[in-house]
Amino acid sequence: MPSDPTTTALRELLVRQLESWLPAARQRSRRATVALAYARRDVDSAEAALRLVAGQADRLSGLRLTVLVLADAAADLPARLGPIEAGLPADVAVHVVPGDPSRLPVALKAAGAAGAPLFSFLDADAGTAGAPDAAVLRAAAGGRPAEVLLRAGRAARVELDAVGFPLVTQVKLAAADGPTESITFGTGSDRSLEAFKEALWTAADVAGVRLGDPGGRLHDVAGDPDLDPLGRELLAELARTGPRTVTELRRHALLATVHRSSDAQRVLTDLLAAGVVTRDPAQGRLGGDVTISSSAGAPA
Strand 31-38 and strand 64-70: the pairing is parallel
At 199, which helix (H) or strand (E)?
helix 190-207
Closest CA to 45 of 118, 122, 117: 122
At 20, which helix (H) or strand (E)?
helix 5-28
pLDDT tens per residue across span 230-269: 999 999 999 999 999 999 999 999 999 999 999 999 999 9
Average pLDDT, the chain: 91
Provide CB contacts within 8 A for 92, sequence distance 6+.
Answer: 53, 57, 60, 65, 66, 67
Grade residue 2 by pLDDT with cuts at 50, 70 and 90. low
Identity at 292, one-letter amino acid code: I
pLDDT tens per residue across span 13-53: 999 999 999 999 999 999 999 999 998 767 889 999 999 99
Output the pLDDT for position 268. Answer: 98
Grade residue 155 by pLDDT with cuts at 50, 70 and 90. low
pLDDT tens per residue across span 208-226: 999 998 888 999 998 889 9
Beta strands in the chain (DSSP E): 31-38, 64-70, 92-97, 118-123, 146-152, 167-174, 180-187, 210-212, 218-219, 244-245, 277-280, 291-294
In angstroms, the CA 72 to CA 80 distance is: 15
